[in-house]
Amino acid sequence: MIEEFAKEYLHEELRWGRATVVGKLDGLSEYDVRRPLTRTGTNLLGLIKHLTLSEARYFGAIFDRPFPHPLPTFDDAGYRNRDYLWVTEEESRVSIVDGYRRAYEHADATIDALPIDAPGYVPWWPRPEVMLLNVLVPVVTETNRHLGHADILREQLDGALDSDPTPSSEQDDADWAAHRATIERAALRAPRPPCLAGPLAVRSGVGHLRVGQTRLVQPPHGQSGYRVRLDWGLDGARAVGVDVTTTVVVDVLSFTTTLTVALDVGAVVYPYRWDDGTAEQFARENDAVLAVGRSQSGVGRVSLSPATLRVGRPPRRLVLPSPNGATIAHHLATPGAPCHAARAAYDAVRGREREALLACASGRELDQQGYTHEVTIAAEVNTSTVVPVLIDGRFTDAAYSG
């Protein structure tokens, strides 16, 4: 009696895991079900392809009930497990899911036909002689482990949680954002691992530290060993923004210059992602003017050019997208503070600010496009008293931010 109960209980858990992992594909585009979402390329459809091989192998030839379709084996020349954790452009979503269905239907038939103590043989296991129970338990475990991976991948794509593939609501997003912020604050306030500065830390390959038996993976561009860190672009900001309390965004040509000029004339500025179709709706929701591209600027229109804010009546609220500064600020909403490295960089060009800006790549580009006046504005010294800080998604002067 207990044997049949155990088999049915495990079988039901396996059925649930299969249905739930396939459900993670619901509502997603072909790109999203295939796209790599981790450093090692983990993707949703690849997980299902992997689980297909697992069920077809373990409930097939292992119990002398071979799966009727060809399968790769560990003995194949050049076999690598990771080659069966992604799908080519020729493989359709339907074919992958259908292959999984055929594999688990074959597995169901094996489980239903055999007693829980039925003998099997797994040649690649250290103890190859097994019973059905010995295989059923690890397959259930593996399916649930990969379902956990799928949970995380799906949440990264559209915020859908648990077994419900429905994207989260705005209220859910706000609640989770507050919860995540609480966790982030706790993580930032926790003491750093001693291995980051202690004598026991030794290198064990690029991007890793090993202390005893503990292997800590560091971002390839991470700078955790330094109090002041510098990098470029959104990826750089993400890499160096780990376990810090302050992030300073500097994009002189032209976001931070335009931002400062906007605050000088009394505007509140909302940074926004560049080339994002939701910017217009965001501006309407915040009763703000959306800055346009330079090529679209004209009389009465504000653009990323700081000069447009010095002509006519400035907006009370401004949504300001830009490829670098605004995009970074939108993701890393941390108020500014003094940075010794930035000060040293400024000291190196003090007194020749305009000359230095015109000599840099962005300065030359603006000069060649006829926007030299923007570089001149960016090079102004001691003409502004504002310090922009980002609070609740918008920039205001630190003097009025409370």
What does the pLDDT read at residue 204?
A: 35
What does the pLDDT read at residue 276?
A: 86
pLDDT band (50, 70, 90) for residue 192: low
Compute the distance between CA of residue 4 and CA of residue 115 in angstroms, rounded to an integer. 8
What does the pLDDT read at residue 300?
A: 72
What does the pLDDT read at residue 338?
A: 37
What does the pLDDT read at residue 305?
A: 87
Task: Please write the tens of the pLDDT for every residue from 233-282.
Answer: 887 777 776 666 677 888 877 888 888 888 888 889 999 988 888 889 98
Phi, psi of 235 (to 5 degrees): -60, -40
What does the pLDDT read at residue 74?
A: 66
Report the CATH superfamily, name and number, of domain 255-400.
Answer: ComB-like (3.90.1560.10)
Contact (Cβ atoms closer than 8 angstroms) between residue 9 and residue 139: no
Task: Please write the tens of the pLDDT for every residue from 60-112.
Answer: 999 999 999 888 876 677 778 888 899 999 999 999 999 999 999 999 999 99
Residue 222 has pLDDT above 70, yes or no: no
Residue 210 has pLDDT above 60, yes or no: no
- Running DSSP on this structure, what letter comes out for residue 75? T
Compute the distance between CA of residue 247 and CA of residue 238 in angstroms, rounded to an integer. 10
pTM of this structure: 0.52
Query: Is the model more confident about 157 or about 234?
Result: 157
Q: Which residues pair with 129 in a beta bridge?
A: 121
List CB contacts of 325: < 8 A, sequence separation 6 or more.
Answer: 249, 250, 251, 255, 256, 259, 271
Mean pLDDT of 187-200: 53
Query: Is the model more confident about 203 or about 103?
Result: 103
Query: Is the model more confident about 185 or about 221?
Result: 185
What does the pLDDT read at residue 241?
A: 66
Helix 44-58 × helix 93-113 angle, to 10°: 30
Lowest mean pLDDT across 36-45, 205-214, 269-278, 383-392:
205-214
Residue 198 has pLDDT above 70, yes or no: no
What does the pLDDT read at residue 120?
A: 96
What does the pLDDT read at residue 47?
A: 96
What does the pLDDT read at residue 344?
A: 65
Domain extents for the chain?
2-158, 194-229, 255-400
CATH number of the domain at 2-158, out of 3.40.50.300, 1.10.569.10, 1.20.120.450, 3.40.470.10? 1.20.120.450
DSSP helix/strand/coil, 321 = strand
Lowest mean pLDDT across 114-123, 125-134, 338-347:
338-347
DSSP helix/strand/coil, 372 = helix
What does the pLDDT read at residue 49?
A: 95
Per cent of the chain over pLDDT 70 is 82
CB atoms under 10 Å from CB of 1, counted, come to 5
Which CA distances in Å does 51 have to 23, 97, 147, 271? Answer: 14, 10, 10, 43
Residue 208 has pLDDT above 70, yes or no: no
Mean pLDDT of 38-52: 94
Helix 93-113 × helix 2-23 angle, to 10°: 180
Cα 63 versus chain centre, distance: 42
Mean pLDDT of the chain: 82
Residue 59 has pLDDT above 80, yes or no: yes
Mean pLDDT of 173-193: 77
Residue 334 has pLDDT above 50, yes or no: no
